[in-house]
């Protein structure tokens, strides 16, 4: 289970993660506007709807991860680092893909800049060190790298008989 970390309570880290939340919300908002624009303008190739819809889905994931990371959840922070980098990289193929309208490419470029900023913040020294130096609690320290969790033993409750 994910645990909240005290290191995420540092003022600079909180400010950085609040900025990430705003960037993620902007990314999601811009993606929703693009999808609604694609639906309103109709007559586009299915690629347009897929590209715009994919941005909305990735926006939802980034917003959720940024909120959980701001609450100090280490795994959400780690996943945010990975997902934001992947989302940033996926902008490039869309920009060079033929057949997409210019307004959609412009939206993807803007989303890419927002995500690039997120990547720079979450991979920065301050944010990463706040989560890396936090003392793990029992839930985090129970797992060791390379070892799988052992299955739980079933407990059988026997009713005691009284004479």
pLDDT at site 128: 57
**Positive or negative: CA dihedral 74, 109, 41, 45:** negative
DSSP assignment of 39-91: HHH----HHHHHHHHHHHHHHHHHHHHHHHHHTTBHHHHHHHHHHHHHHHHTH
Quick one: which of 149, 90, 83, 146 has its CA closest to 118?
83
- Nearest CA-CA partner of 86 in 64, 118, 50, 63: 118
pLDDT at position 48: 80
CA dist., res. 50 & res. 139, Å (int): 39
Tokens 């909120």 found at: 67
User: What's the confidence (pLDDT) of residue 116?
Assistant: 95
pLDDT of residue 159: 56
For the chain of 163 residues, list the mean pLDDT of each consecutive stretch of 10: 52 86 95 89 76 90 94 91 94 86 89 94 73 49 52 50 55
């Amino acid at each position: 289970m994910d645990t909240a970390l005290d290191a995420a309570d540092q003022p600079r880290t909180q400010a950085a993660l609040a900025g990430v939340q705003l960037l993620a919300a902007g990314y999601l908002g811009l993606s929703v506007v693009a999808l609604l624009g694609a639906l309103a303008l109709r007559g586009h190739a299915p690629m347009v709807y897929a590209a715009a819809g994919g941005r909305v889905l990735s926006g939802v994931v980034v917003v959720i991860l940024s909120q959980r990371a701001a609450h100090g959840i280490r795994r959400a922070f780690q996943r945010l680092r990975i997902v934001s980098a992947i989302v940033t990289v996926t902008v490039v193929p869309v920009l060079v893909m033929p057949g997409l309208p210019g307004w959609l490419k412009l939206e993807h470029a803007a989303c890419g800049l927002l995500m690039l900023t997120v990547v720079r913040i979450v991979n920065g020294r301050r944010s990463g060190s706040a989560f890396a130096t936090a003392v793990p609690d029992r839930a985090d320290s129970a797992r060791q790298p390379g070892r799988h969790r052992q299955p739980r033993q079933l407990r059988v409750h026997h009713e005691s008989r009284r004479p």
